[in-house]
Amino acid sequence: MPFDNPLKKFLDPFGCPSIYLTGKDLLEGVECAVGNVYASDQLAVAYLGRKDSVRIVLNGKGSFAENLGKLQENLKVTLKLVLLLAVRYAIAAQILSRGGTSLDAVQKCVSALEDCSLFNAGKGAVFNRNGEHELEATIVDGNRKKSGSVACLHTVKNPVRAARKVMENSAHVLLVGEGAEEFLQGLPEKEQPVNAEYFHTDIRRRELEANLSGGITSKNNHPQTVGAVAVDHWGNFAAATSTGGLVGKWKGRIGDTAIFGAGIYADEKLALTCTGDGDVFLKETVAHKVATLYTHKGYSLREACREVIHEKGFQGGIIAVDSRGDAGHKKSQICFVSILKYNNNPPTSDCCHSMV
């Protein structure tokens, strides 16, 4: 096969032999090259030259069938996780509908995401370059102007719960590493620590291996940092966020998630939380910039988020909520998502989301 044949890139991964011309495609008048891979795994390929597209047909034998079976099982597991998340989200949303606080709601939402291996937080956290997990989280009570943060945790199942305990039971705002874990174990209502294996997942291990071998070149290759923002019936704002950081990061590195004003912010007018390149968001104090544009420059929340996220070509995203989010009606609002990444392209819809 010629080196520049467009079909080559699709067949190289299979270690294919030569391709044999055998006839035409079903579409009349369309040139077609059809090949057969002579191995235990059969593969038929059609290259539509004039259409510049590729069609691959698997016959379901050998390892192809085995891989399809594995894919089906993985899909079932994923669906179960999504269903579990949906149930937990519904419970969290009921906190507000039943007159609960925004602080309880955002904690409940982020805790649910931390328990799901689909996201880069808690159970699904990425590995640092030493093959360890270092978790960080922040929770903010906007109206009381209080916050709590934790970072470099190794044995805490739900970092967002730990962050709230720092906020409510310590004289400090941020605790890290062994000091944070000693503080948590010294509380009357302490939680049982988990071992390192609890956080291990195959997909994160493969991501680390790819990173260390040079297979991952982008620092922002896993936008599954999680966050939640809410305002309750009393108009109290709260925000929470949690992450495992960057794949292959240096030991001891702390990102914007653990820093109030960088990756998270809340006051008596709004609440927001961010995701992206944590080092850049730290340097640019992204969350605080959004709040400043909103409070002091007269920007709408949507305008403020969009302005900051694209000011210097940031890769990242923001979720936010304010008191105007429901056209002035005094209803409970909550937003809980794994924050989306804009990839330097302006969002096609409002970057500020709310659900009653």
Catalytic entry in 155, 201, 217, 225: 225
Q: Is 225 a catalytic residue?
A: yes
- Residue 60 assigned to a binding site: no
Q: Residues with Cβ < 8 Å from 112, sequence gap 6 or more? A: 85, 88, 89, 92
CA pair distance 150, 353, nearest whole angstrom: 26
Contact 204, 125 (CB under 8 A): yes
Residue 35 assigned ligand-binding role? no
Confirm whether residue 252 is marked as ligand binding.
Answer: no
Residue 69 assigned to a binding site:
no
Select from 250, 278, 249 the least CA-distant residue to 262.
Answer: 278
Give the pair of three-digit tokens for residue 272.
């927001």
Q: H helices within the chain, ranges in order?
A: 8-11, 62-97, 102-114, 159-169, 177-185, 202-212, 278-284, 286-296, 301-311
254 is in an annotated binding site: yes
CA angle 93, 317, 333 (to 5 degrees): 25
Q: Which contacts of 350-353 are long-range, i.e. CB under 8 A and separated by 24 or more positions?
A: 350/302, 351/302, 351/305, 351/306, 351/309, 351/317, 351/318, 351/319, 351/320, 352/301, 352/302, 352/305, 352/318, 352/319, 352/320, 352/321, 352/322, 352/325, 353/319, 353/321
256 has binding-site annotation: yes
CA gyration radius, the chain: 24
Q: Which amino acid is at 328?
A: G
Catalytic site positions: 225
Annotated binding site: 253-256, 275-278
Annotated binding site for substrate: 253-256, 275-278
